[in-house]
Amino acid sequence: MMKSILPKWFYGAIGTLFLLLNTVIWGVIVLLLGVTKWCIRVKFVSVLLHWAYHKWCLGNRIGLKLGGVQMHVKIPQSVSINGWYLLVSNHISWLDIVVLSAQAQLPAPKFFLKDELKYVPFIGTGAWALDMPFMKRASKAQIAKNPKLKRMDVERTRQSCKNFKQHPTTVINFAEGTRFTAAKQLRQASPFDNLLKPKAGGTAFALDVLSEQVDGLLNTAVVYHSDDEHICRAFFRGQLEAVSLEVDYIPIDDLPKGDYQLDKEYRVQFQAYMNQLWQQKSLQIKAIEQRLDDATGKYSTEAKSL
């Protein structure tokens, strides 16, 4: 009733302000708890850290609702809040992180981060406090001089992921490596109508590191419904009508296994597997858009990007 009275920009402003405050407040709390854990090494502090992180995720869920966004979510019942997963998703907007973290059925979302991000306030400091892995990959020139560095990247990251075993976790990987735009799609000559080419190496690296910890792969499609092609701007203005999120669960035993860096045959096999997943995801995104279009007759059927 109230939504028909108040303008859309009001809901966008309220939702945006709430998300910002949510990140600042819980970001400070997580940082302080992280420093405490570093000083005294008490397990209870880690429990408090994940409690605070859960509250941040809950705040994101509230912020999206306050912003007037309708969530259409399909996650299999076999996905448990007490499980461990690698989530592979298309990447459209900075809002993707908020949307994925806001899903109550997914255990705590965590990320592989570039080493440089550890110095970024709230993002880097919060990730450091929650023991998210910072990757410092060896360059091609360094590997050429010392081939052993290939496996050192994996082993270094595997060591940093050991803490994931203590708390149910969803490790999120945006396989395209960057946000989708029509210009990037054209530059890549991507064979997919609404996606960039997947970078199989990053996903294979994550599976190699996490294979002994995760229950399976969550193949995820995120679709935004808005007349504005800039998703964050649409949310700020209250013009982001809805978000659809669909997840397919693939058990770990059904995934290709091998050494992506050293086994050329497996590398070709895994690249083909990722391209197949992406082809299915492209069709899935089209189907999601068409269903909402048929149901409302209102939203554009084109994939929107920031």
Decide which of 10 and 144 is more confident: 10
Average pLDDT score, the chain:
86
Per-residue pLDDT for 250 more than 60?
yes
**Is 36 part of any domain?**
no
pLDDT for position 212: 80
46 in a domain, yes or no?
Answer: no
Q: How does residue 1 score in pLDDT terms, banded at 50, 70 and 90?
A: very low
Residue 183 has pLDDT above 50, yes or no: yes
Is 111 exposed, middle or buried (CB count within 10 Å of its CB: 0-12, 13-18, 19+)? buried
Instruction: Report the domain count for the chain.
Output: 1
Give backbone dihedrals phi and psi of 220, rounded to 5 degrees, phi first: -120, 140
Q: Is residue 151 part of a domain?
A: yes
Residue 55 lies in a domain: no
Kindly state whether residue 235 falls inside one of the protein's structural domains: yes
* pTM as predicted: 0.86
Report the distance separating Cα 174 and Cα 48, nearest Å: 28
Residue identified by tokens 């302000």 is: 17
Contact 92, 47 (CB under 8 A): no
300 pLDDT more than 60: no
The whole-number pLDDT of residue 152 equals 65
- CB-CB contact of 216 with 85 (8 Å): yes
β-bridge mates for residue 218, sequence order: 87, 249
Residue 296, φ and ψ in degrees, nearest 5: -115, -30
Q: Which of 27-31, 126-130, 169-173 has the lowest mean pLDDT?
A: 126-130
pLDDT higher for 262 or 236?
A: 236
Which one is predicted more confidently, 105 or 139? 105
Burial of residue 162 (number of CB atoms within 10 Å: 0-12, 13-18, 19+): exposed
Which pLDDT value is given to residue 303? 43
Please check whether residue 184 lies inside any domain of the structure: yes
For residue 45, being part of any structural domain is answered with no
Cα angle 217, 220, 225; round to 5: 170
142 near 121, Cβ under 8 Å? no
Report, in angstroms and rounded to the nearest whole number, the Rg of the chain calculated over CA atoms: 20
In-domain check, residue 33 = no
CA 113 to chain centre: 11
Q: Write down the pLDDT at residue 197.
A: 95
Per-residue confidence (pLDDT) for residue 302, from 0 to 100:
45
Q: In whole angstroms, what is the distance from residue 171 CA to residue 127 CA?
A: 12
- The rounded distance, in Å, linking the Cα atoms of 196 and 42 is 44
Residue 110: closest CA among 60, 169, 168: 169
pLDDT at 304: 43
Side chain identity at residue 80, one-letter code: S
* pLDDT recorded at residue 136: 66
Structural domain including 240 reads: 70-296
When mean pLDDT is compared over 12-16, 110-114, 202-206, the highest value belongs to 12-16
Instruction: Identify the pLDDT of residue 296.
Output: 56
Return d(Cα 272, Cα 252) in angstroms, integer.
17
Say which CATH number the domain at 142 has.
3.40.1130
